[in-house]
Amino acid sequence: MTRVDVSFESGADRCAGWLYTPATEGAPRPTVILGHGLGGVKEMRLDAYAERFVQAGYACLVFDYRHFGASGGLPRQLLDIKKELADWAAAVAYVRRLEGVDGDRIALFGSSFGGGLVIDVAAADGRISAVISQCPFTDGFASARASGTISTVKVTALATRDVVAAALGRTPVMAALSGPPRSASLMSAHDCEPGYRALTDTAPAFRNEVCARFALAIATYFPGRRAARLDCPILFALCRDDTVAPAAASRRHGERAACAEIVEYPCGHFDIYLGDAFEHAVGDYVDFLHRHLPVA
């Protein structure tokens, strides 16, 4: 396979990405677009999934959201739901313009918070061929409740300060993405800090912080509700012991989708990126793609 650095415009900035293509020539390839979750960057194992998809015959685009990783955008570490949805739409538009790929056969792969975003993107687009939603954030209330009262209070205080700082044009107030239980972090369950750390060994661009104002938007975002609007196949890959995006909430949303497949893995939110859990899941994903988006 080949991997080249690419970029595409989104709003007033550019998103950086990697474009993977199989080494063998042939008919235009169906393409999988991959995006990460809460504060994640493409080096945090998205390349591992992309490599498996390319080996199975697909082209792949992996990208960083604006304000994160190698992409543009100021202030850094700003997580804005509307902007990230726009980044996904820009990535789809970019792929549809590429030569050598089949722009009418595009699959979306989103993980964690990205697993919720891809539901929204596919519902709005109407032309997406398939969706893989891995350990997805589908229900803001369920995820906020999973954070625990003490962490929620601490992060809310930081978020309020950050909103004031933004209004006054001051330096953003940051909150940790992951931390120990009861800490002022967005993810504070017992497995969150070591789980995130395990994914960042090969991601020098990763920063364990985000502009705290995002915390005020978590509890009111319910992308899972749009699953019922999808007319394309969607695979919900749930982690049974998920402490970040509770599987029960995602299962309820998935059961309302007309063309959903729901698979549960006996692991935690961060385990699915590594080891046996990764091998099991990525094999299921390739099978799902081959059934619904076959390679010529």
Dihedral sign for Cα atoms in the order 110, 114, 115, 116: negative
Residue carrying the six token digits 């570490």: 77
Residue 115 has pLDDT above 90, yes or no: yes
In this structure, what token pair is assigned to residue 135?
Answer: 């350990």
Residue 148 has pLDDT above 90, yes or no: no
Residue carrying the six token digits 């997406």: 128
Amino acid 175: pLDDT: 97
Residue 24 has pLDDT above 80, yes or no: no
- Predicted confidence band at 109 (pLDDT cuts at 50, 70, 90)? very high
CA distances from 24 to 57, 61, 100, 114, 182 (A): 9, 17, 12, 30, 51
- Predicted confidence band at 130 (pLDDT cuts at 50, 70, 90)? very high
Question: pLDDT tens digits for 149-187?
Answer: 899 999 999 999 999 999 999 999 999 999 999 999 999
Amino acid 242: pLDDT: 96
Question: pLDDT tens digits for 214-240?
Answer: 999 998 999 999 999 999 999 999 999
Nearest CA-CA partner of 179 in 164, 168, 190, 171: 190
In this structure, what token pair is assigned to residue 148?
Answer: 């625990």
Amino acid 205: pLDDT: 82
Work out the average pLDDT over 2-24. 95
Q: Is the separation of the CB atoms in 10 and 20 below 8 Å?
A: no
Of all residues in the chain, the percent with pLDDT exceeding 70 is 100
d(CA 130, CA 84): 19
CATH architecture label of 2-292: 3-Layer(aba) Sandwich (3.40)
Residue 4 has pLDDT above 90, yes or no: yes
Instruction: Tell me the pLDDT of the chain averaged across its residues.
Output: 95
Work out the average pLDDT over 243-258. 95
**Least-confidence region, from 34-43, 156-165, 202-211:** 202-211
Nearest CA-CA partner of 232 in 158, 124, 153, 152: 124
Amino acid 70: pLDDT: 96
Residue 144 has pLDDT above 90, yes or no: no
Of all residues in the chain, the percent with pLDDT exceeding 90 is 88
Question: pLDDT tens digits for 51-107?
Answer: 999 999 999 999 999 999 999 999 999 999 999 999 999 999 999 999 888 989 999
pTM score over 0.85: yes
Instruction: Give the residue with greater pLDDT, 296 vs 208.
Output: 208
Amino acid 100: pLDDT: 85
Both ends of the chain: CA-CA distance in Å? 17
Work out the average pLDDT over 21-41. 90
Find residue 210's DSSP bridge partners.
175
Residue 122 has pLDDT above 80, yes or no: yes
